[in-house]
Amino acid sequence: MLFRSVEDVGRALGSAVKDCLGDRRGIRRYGHAIIPMDESLATVAVDLGGRAATVFAVDFPVSTIGAFDAQLVEVFWESFAATAGANFHAVLHHGRNGHHIAEAVFKAAARAIRMAVETDPRQRGVPSTKGTLTQD
């Protein structure tokens, strides 16, 4: 049941982002962040261009973080990307502590998403050469 709950929370966040962005007019669209968390270092890059894809190159050295299944971190971000219409790429450069790895990924994701949704004063329309950003 926890799997479904984590997936649902990812979808809820993705839906909220998608609804708030509307036609995505005037946003930066792309965002990225590199976050160190103690011995861990993670990079997340996002494209809020309307098409969903997830690349999750993060290996956890443990199967659980406390009572939380570490594989659910990837499930959360896959669900977010599918619902938000986002490309989501996470890469773990190094790390030994499962908690620090997850924390680095989530914090990098938050900063990358914040960058992508920011208003770009140079972007008057939809940030696409096609003139539209839709989920295909």
Are 14 and 48 in contact, with CB atoms under 8 Å apart? no
Are 69 and 5 in contact, with CB atoms under 8 Å apart? no
Mean pLDDT along residues 84-89: 97
Q: Is a pLDDT exceeding 70 seen at residue 130?
A: no
Q: Is a pLDDT exceeding 90 seen at residue 55?
A: yes
For residue 67, what are the contacts with CB-CB under 8 A and spacing of at least 6? none
Q: Is a pLDDT exceeding 70 seen at residue 125?
A: no
Q: What is the pLDDT of residue 136?
A: 44
Distance CA 112, CA 118 (A): 10
Identity at 5, one-letter amino acid code: S
With CA atoms as reference, report the closest residue to 135 among 13, 46, 48, 9: 48
CA dihedral sign of residues 53, 57, 59, 65: negative
- CA angle 8/25/48 to nearest 5° reads 40
Bridge partners of 30, per DSSP, are 47
Mean pLDDT along residues 29-49: 97
For residue 11, what are the contacts with CB-CB under 8 A and spacing of at least 6? 79, 80, 82, 83
Tens digits of residue pLDDT in 108-118:
999 999 999 99
Is the whole-model pTM more than 0.75?
yes
Give the residue, 63 or 128, on which the prediction is more confident: 63
Mean pLDDT along residues 24-51: 95
